[in-house]
């Protein structure tokens, strides 16, 4: 269907003159042809109507893992794109932990190669160190010139203080961004879940939040000393939120995100030893979860990410101590972020569309007549059942459950896909 009419859709475009206004939109082959105050009539068009129909800039996921090449049994670029689109994402930043690792321009080009032809655009994050081993620097300037979005060792937090210090210095000439998931892995070694009462009751080895706090304190001290920019990904504890809040108050160039599953679940999800909830960082306490919500409300946490880490059934259907860390989550980020109504929808959308682009220096897409559109269409009050995942991974915590907040379609790169 080339022509689509969005009927009386509320525009959720923070900072745009039309923000929160209701309009009738005419799209043809992904191009925005009309923005109208009155109903539109177009022959043979698909009319999209919903009680709380809303439109925003296409959502941007700052942290996802599509482990292709190398681990295609977990997720391919094609299946990852399908899952991302169903989750409302038109752009996705990919972790570098493929095989080979994204530490040279050939692997970078592989991840970028289909972007001209695809709705969902992939932005590779390049590794700071070769093979993401934390030993020898990759060619970061060359990778930047060939389109690396930012730099991180991804699933492997950088443990060496000197490497972090030199990376902050090395990236400054081109205003490059270091992304770090804060964890002192010496402290969390052999851990399975959050250290605390629940871990003791279940007889499981804990992963203390201290490991996260120490790494944030160290990296903030290095940032204050060396300058540059750092982004902390997957913040999980109340004290981490407070450390970042204080650093921002001191004027440090630090940003941070929280992954959507940590907004909906806490450590008690592991009571039944369900390996789907074995995550790193681990799900923490109800008090930590409340602090994450507050961090989003007051701007300490800048973005919501999926932290999509898909695994094949053989990696998850094991004893808890043997199962892999991570879950499939990219398709239900919006529902996870809105089901409990802790934040107004417009603030959630800002954390999914505006601030992620701001963090990595990408301009917001145009929202103008006769311009190619980059949009996510959704209904924040619609209830639906998550019946089938488009990801290759079965490790999703919400499969078969009734959810609130549904993505209805995505538009980008002169392509459209609908989930009506």
Give the tens place of pLDDT for each residue, 348-363.
999 999 999 999 999 9
Residues 350 and 385 in one domain: no
Quick check: is 142 catalytic?
Answer: no
Q: Quick check: 12 and 55 in contact, CB under 8 A?
A: yes
**Between the CA of residue 79 and those of 210, 246, 334, 391, what are the distances in Å?**
36, 40, 19, 6
Q: Is the domain of 270 the same as that of 301?
A: yes
Regarding whether 348 and 261 lie in a shared domain, the answer is yes
Q: What value does the mean pLDDT take over residues 212-229?
A: 98
289: left (phi over 0), alpha (psi -120 to 50) or beta: alpha
Are residues 389 and 320 part of one domain?
Answer: no
Mean pLDDT for the stretch of residues 43-66? 97
Residues 311 and 261 in one domain: yes
Regarding whether 176 and 117 lie in a shared domain, the answer is: yes
The domain boundary residue, chosen from 332, 360, 388: 360
Same domain for 27 and 76, yes or no, is: no
* Residue 372 pLDDT greater than 90, yes or no: yes
pTM of the model: 0.97
In whole angstroms, what is the distance from residue 98 CA to residue 101 CA?
5
Q: Are the C-beta atoms of residues 123 and 357 closer than 8 Å to each other?
A: no
pLDDT in tens, 94-146: 999 999 999 999 999 999 999 999 999 999 999 999 999 999 999 999 999 99
pLDDT at 252 over 90: yes
Here the CATH number for the domain that contains residue 183 is 3.20.20.140
Q: How many domains does the chain have?
A: 2
Q: Is the pLDDT of residue 1 over 80?
A: no
Question: Are residue 209 and residue 279 in the same domain, yes or no?
Answer: yes
How large is the average pLDDT for residues 290-298?
Answer: 97
Picking from 360, 376, 399, the residue at the C-terminal end of a domain is 360
Q: What confidence category does residue 341 fall into, taking pLDDT thresholds of 50, 70 and 90?
A: confident
Choosing from 307, 321, 379, 380, the catalytic residue is: 307
pLDDT of residue 2: 86
Task: Write down which residue in 324, 344, 360 finishes a domain.
Answer: 360
Which residue segment(s) compose the domain that 47 sits in?
A: 3-55+368-418
325 and 380 in a single domain? The answer is no
Average pLDDT, the chain: 97
CATH number of the domain enclosing 34 = 2.30.40.10
Tell me what the mean pLDDT of segment 209-234 comes to.
98
Give the per-residue pLDDT at 128.
98
Same domain, 198 and 258: yes
| Domain match, 42 and 87 both | no
* Domain match, 349 and 227 both: yes
Predicted confidence at residue 396, as pLDDT, reads 95
């Amino acid at each position: 269907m080339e022509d689509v009419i969005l009927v009386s859709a509320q525009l959720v475009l923070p900072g745009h003159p039309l923000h929160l206004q209701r309009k009738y939109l005419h799209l043809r082959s992904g191009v925005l042809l009309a923005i109208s105050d009155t109903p539109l009539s177009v022959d043979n068009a698909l009319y999209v109507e919903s009680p709380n129909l809303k439109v925003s800039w296409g959502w941007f996921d700052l942290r996802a893992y599509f482990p292709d090449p190398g681990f295609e049994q977990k997720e391919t670029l094609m299946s990852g794109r399908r899952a991302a689109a169903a989750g409302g994402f038109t752009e996705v930043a990919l972790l570098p932990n493929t095989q080979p690792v994204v530490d040279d321009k050939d692997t970078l080009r592989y991840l970028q190669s289909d972007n001209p032809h695809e709705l969902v655009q992939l932005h590779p994050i390049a590794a700071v160190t070769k093979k993401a081993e934390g030993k020898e620097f990759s060619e970061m300037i060359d990778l930047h010139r060939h389109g690396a979005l930012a730099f991180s060792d991804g699933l492997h937090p950088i443990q060496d203080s000197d490497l972090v210090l030199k990376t902050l210095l090395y990236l400054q000439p081109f205003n490059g961004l270091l992304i770090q998931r804060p964890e002192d892995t010496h402290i969390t070694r052999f851990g399975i879940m959050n250290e605390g009462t629940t871990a003791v009751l279940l007889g499981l080895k804990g992963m203390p939040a201290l490991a996260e706090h120490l790494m944030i304190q160290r990296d903030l001290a290095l940032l204050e000393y060396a300058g540059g920019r750092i982004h902390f990904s997957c913040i999980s504890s109340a004290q981490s939120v407070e450390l970042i809040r204080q650093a921002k108050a001191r004027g440090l160039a630090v940003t941070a995100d929280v992954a959507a599953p940590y907004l909906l679940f806490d450590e008690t999800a592991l009571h039944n030893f369900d390996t789907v909830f074995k995550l790193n960082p681990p799900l923490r306490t109800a008090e930590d979860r409340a602090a994450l919500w507050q961090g989003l409300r007051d701007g300490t946490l800048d973005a919501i990410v999926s932290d999509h880490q898909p695994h094949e059934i053989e990696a998850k259907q094991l004893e808890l101590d043997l199962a892999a860390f991570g879950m499939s989550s990219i398709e239900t980020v919006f529902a996870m972020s809105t089901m409990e109504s802790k934040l107004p929808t417009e603030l959630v959308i800002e954390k999914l569309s505006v601030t992620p682009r701001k963090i990595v220096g990408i301009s917001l897409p145009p929202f103008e007549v006769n311009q190619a559109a980059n949009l996510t269409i959704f209904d924040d009050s619609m209830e639906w059942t998550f019946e089938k995942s488009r990801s290759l991974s079965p490790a999703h915590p919400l499969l078969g459950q009734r959810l609130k907040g549904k993505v209805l379609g995505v538009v980008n790169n002169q392509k459209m896909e609908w989930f009506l």
